[in-house]
Chain A
Amino acid sequence: MRIDAAKCVGCGQCHQFCTMGAIYFTRSDKGSKVHCFVDEDECVDCGICFRSQVCPTDSLYQINHDWPRSIRGTFSNPLSEHKETRVPGRGTEEMKTNDITNRYKRGYAGMAAEMGRPGTGARLRDAEKVFKSLAKLGVEFEPNNPLTGLLANKQTGEMNPEVVNEKVLSAIIEMVFPLELVIPVLDVMEQVAEEIDTVFSIDLVARVDEDLAVPTAKVMEKHEKWFSLNGKTNLGLGHLRVKGAGLS
Chain B
Amino acid sequence: MTHTLHRQGPIDSFEHDYVVFSMSAKNYNEKNSNVALREFIKILSKYKVVNMGDMKTGGMYLVDQDKIINNVQDTSIVHAVFQDKEEVKKALREIKEADLGISVIVTGIVNEVQDICQEVGIERHTVEYSVGIRGKLSRLPEEELLEITTMCGHGMVSQHLARQMLLDMKRGKRSAREVGEILATPCVCGVFNPKRAQQLLEELAEVWCFDEF
B103 adjacent to A99 (CB under 8 Å): yes
Chain A residue with the shortest CB-CB distance to B15: A230
Range class of the A interface residue count: 35 or more
Number of A-B contacts (CB under 8 A): 320
The count of chain B contact residues (Cβ–Cβ below 8 Å) is 84
* Contact for B141 among A85, A91, A119, CB less than 8 A: A119
Cα(A202)–Cα(B100), bound, Å: 31
Docked Cα-Cα span, A215 to B95, in Å, equals 27
Question: Which of B107-115, B170-178, B198-206 contacts its partner?
Answer: B107-115
Q: Counting chain A CB atoms within 10 Å of each CB, which of B98, B124, B130, B137 scores highest?
A: B130
Which residues of B, 112-145, contact A by the 8 Å Cβ criterion? 113-114, 117, 122-137, 139-141
Q: A226 CA to B132 CA in the complex, in Å?
A: 8
**Interface presence of A92 (CB below 8 A):** yes
- Which residues of A from 107 to 141 have beta carbons under 8 Å from B? 110-112, 114, 116-120
Q: Is A52 an interface residue (CB 8 A)?
A: yes
Shortest beta-carbon distance from A210 to chain B in Å? 10
Q: Which residues of A contact B46 (CB under 8 A)?
A: none
Q: Which residues of B contact A199 (CB under 8 A)?
A: 133-137, 139-140
| A239 close to B127 (CB less than 8 A) | no
> What 1/0 flags go to A161-204 for Cβ under 8 Å of B?
00000000110100000000000001001100100111111111
CB-CB < 8 A to A226: which residues of B? 131-132
Whether B156 contacts A248 by the Cβ 8 Å rule is no
B1 touches A202 (CB 8 A): no
Q: Which residues of A contact B (CB under 8 A)?
A: 15-19, 21, 46, 48, 51-52, 78-79, 81, 85-101, 104, 110-112, 114, 116-120, 169-170, 172, 186, 189-190, 193, 196-208, 212, 214, 216-217, 220, 225-248
